[in-house]
Amino acid sequence: MRAETGRVMGRIVDLVEQRIGNKMSRRSRAREVALQVLYEDDMNPGHSVIESDHFVRRRLKGDASLVEFARSLVAGVRKNRQHLDEVLIQSVENWSLKRMPVTDRNVLRLGVFEILFTDTPDRVAINEAVELARRFGTQHSAHFVNGVLDRVLKDAGDER
């Protein structure tokens, strides 16, 4: 009886998470796809921008608003990468960008871009970045990303 109840409860939790996830994760999904493109940029700097755009459209199933959101994130990080990296270098202690895992580095670039250059509320940008780090990074990535972006936000607040 307990095993059956556990299976039923597990299925209910799965369905609720799936339903909530489908409602809440549309822009999160676009961020995930943007992160994948930025990862590719980092690992293969000479890859085709056209192929990246096809990838975005295919992964987001042609949803125009999500495709545009993901494109804006990718374009923004690409355009401002040098500045984003400078901000990150100033915000981390005893770390170089090259020493960071590729996933963490690109999650941080995405988070800093959203904090500094978009209308996304700062805490939303941080929470989204932490979730990406939790999902795609190492066991310590979420904590690391949270700490760095909190520092970026504090430093940006001091300058604003």
Question: 66: closest CA among 24, 18, 26?
Answer: 26
- pLDDT, tens only, 18-32: 544 444 479 999 999
**Model confidence, pTM:** 0.83
**Model pLDDT, residue 93:** 81
Q: Which residue has the higher pLDDT, 37 or 16?
A: 37
**Model pLDDT, residue 152:** 97
**Model pLDDT, residue 18:** 52
Q: Which residue has the higher pLDDT, 46 or 76?
A: 76
Q: What are the domain boundaries of the chain?
A: 25-159
CATH H-level, domain 25-159: superfamily: NusB-like (1.10.940.10)
In this prediction, residues 45-53 reach a mean pLDDT of 92
Cα 159 to the center of its chain, rounded Å: 24
Asked whether the CA dihedral 81, 26, 64, 56 is positive or negative, the reply is positive
Rounded Cα distance, 42 and 106, in Å: 8
- pLDDT, tens only, 52-107: 999 999 999 999 999 999 999 999 999 999 999 999 999 998 889 999 999 999 99
126 pLDDT above the threshold of 70? yes
12 pLDDT above the threshold of 90? no
**Model pLDDT, residue 8:** 45
In this prediction, residues 129-150 reach a mean pLDDT of 97
When mean pLDDT is compared across 13-17, 33-37, 151-155, the lowest value belongs to 13-17
Q: Which residue has the higher pLDDT, 99 or 2?
A: 99
Q: Rounded to the nearest 10 degrees, how much is the dihedral formed by the CA atoms of 134, 135, 140, 142?
A: -20
In 25-121, which residue ranges form alpha helices assigned H by DSSP?
A: 26-43, 49-59, 64-91, 102-117
